[in-house]
Amino acid sequence: KSVSNRIAAGEVVERPASVVKELLENSIDANSSSIVIEIKEAGKSYIRISDDGVGIKREDLNLAFERHATSKIYSDEEIYDIKSLGFRGEALASIASVSNIEIITRTSEDEFGTKAELMNGDIIRNSSIGCPNGTTIVVKDLFYNTPARHKFLKSNSAETNYISTIVNNIALSHPYISFRYIIDNRNIFTTQGKGDLYSTIYTIYGREVAKNLIEVNNEDGDMKLKGYITNTSYTRGNRSLQISFVNGRYVKSKVISKAIDTGYKTLLPQNRFSICFLYLETPSNKVDVNIHPAKLQIRFRDERRVMDFLTASIKEKLLKSDL
């Protein structure tokens, strides 16, 4: 069992950031309103995700770490029209097979919580514990038993950057959840979780990024755009602050990048890679999302229409604002 899990783990768990992503998505699926992410040594030695979600019942704990065990129902259609997060019951089993795990969890129906330790994917200890509702998972010594994979990891600063990108994007796409992010005992940020997009951006990126942002809000038939863009002269070296979400999911899209460039071109031709946080809503049958969770690529069925809508929305906003 543990060997096949370790092979499967390669699919899901490429690096510490993939662990953070999977655990965060589980916490979100568990209806949490407050989530803490703590990492040490770029997540290589320590990753802790604590949430106040629904928790796992003691009798379900074994099952949660089995491969293909999911409490989330997927029909064939749902897999193609994927709205729920997660990877169909692979994540916890895969992570457990390449690390040592400690989990503390309690549902609102249980008087006591459960604390369990796992080694090589098996629960080796398990006891009752007093704790609040929700789940805390600590992942220690990632890839300790897969040296090839461990060697393949990048420097601590590079791996920390991968994690921060995941945490930032997940926090940006869930403004109604409060995220607290801690790196090596240092508080990085705590988002409010009250639904305010601007305050979420401000909290994560600080005043320098937030101060020149103006709100976009536009609609065209079944497409809706909201977000923030900058209307001042701006040159950046890359697109790292052009962040877009389609139907609540962080995506990378050439169509969106091109739409941004075109939208700025006439009014602010000197701008390069202007800061944009764009949230597009469109019927999910009009987009193809690659169903592998690590891939963020998206394809629009009608690229032209999306492109024109985004370009027009940006142009119109810039026109109306003081440049």
Interacting residues with Mg ion (CB under 5 A): 26, 86, 91
Closest separation in Å from C-beta 89 to ligand ADP: 4
Min dist. Cβ of residue 75 to Mg ion (A): 17
Strands 134-140 and 100-106: antiparallel
Minimum gap (Å) between residue 20 Cβ and Mg ion:
12
Residues of this chain that interact with ligand ADP (CB under 6 A) are 22, 26-27, 30, 51, 53-56, 64, 69-72, 86-93, 135
Which is closer to Mg ion, CB of 26 or CB of 114?
26
Q: Which partner from the list Mg ion, ligand ADP, none does 88 bind, CB cut-off 5 to 8 Å by kind? A: ligand ADP
Residue 52 touches which member of ligand ADP, Mg ion, none, C-beta under 5-8 Å by kind: none
Spatial distance between the Cα atoms of 200 and 177, rounded to a whole number of angstroms:
10
Min. distance of Cβ 156 from ligand ADP in angstroms? 26
Q: How far apart are CA 140 and CA 9, in angstroms?
A: 15
Residue 16 interacts with, from ligand ADP, Mg ion, none (CB under 5-8 Å by kind) = none
User: Is 55 in contact with 106 (CB distance < 8 Å)?
Assistant: yes
Considering the complex, state which of residue 158 and residue 291 has its C-beta at the smaller distance from ligand ADP: 291
**What is the rounded CA–CA span in Å between residue 213 and residue 198?**
9
Alpha carbon dihedral 151, 152, 156, 159, in 10-degree steps, equals -150
Minimum Å gap between C-beta 26 and Mg ion is 4
Which residue has its beta carbon closest to Mg ion?
Answer: 86
Single-letter amino acid code for the residue at 99? S
Comparison of 92 and 307: residue with beta carbon closer to Mg ion:
92
27-32 — which CB contacts under 8 Å span 24+ positions?
27/51, 27/53, 27/135, 28/85, 28/170, 28/174, 28/177, 29/53, 29/72, 29/84, 29/85, 29/86, 30/54, 30/55, 30/134, 30/135, 32/134, 32/177
159 interface partner picked from ligand ADP, Mg ion, none, CB below 5 to 8 A per type: none
Q: Closer CB to ligand ADP, residue 179 or residue 277?
A: 179
With respect to ligand ADP, which residue has the nearer C-beta, 56 or 246?
A: 56
Tokens read off for 203: 């909290």
- 245/262 Cα distance (integer angstroms): 19
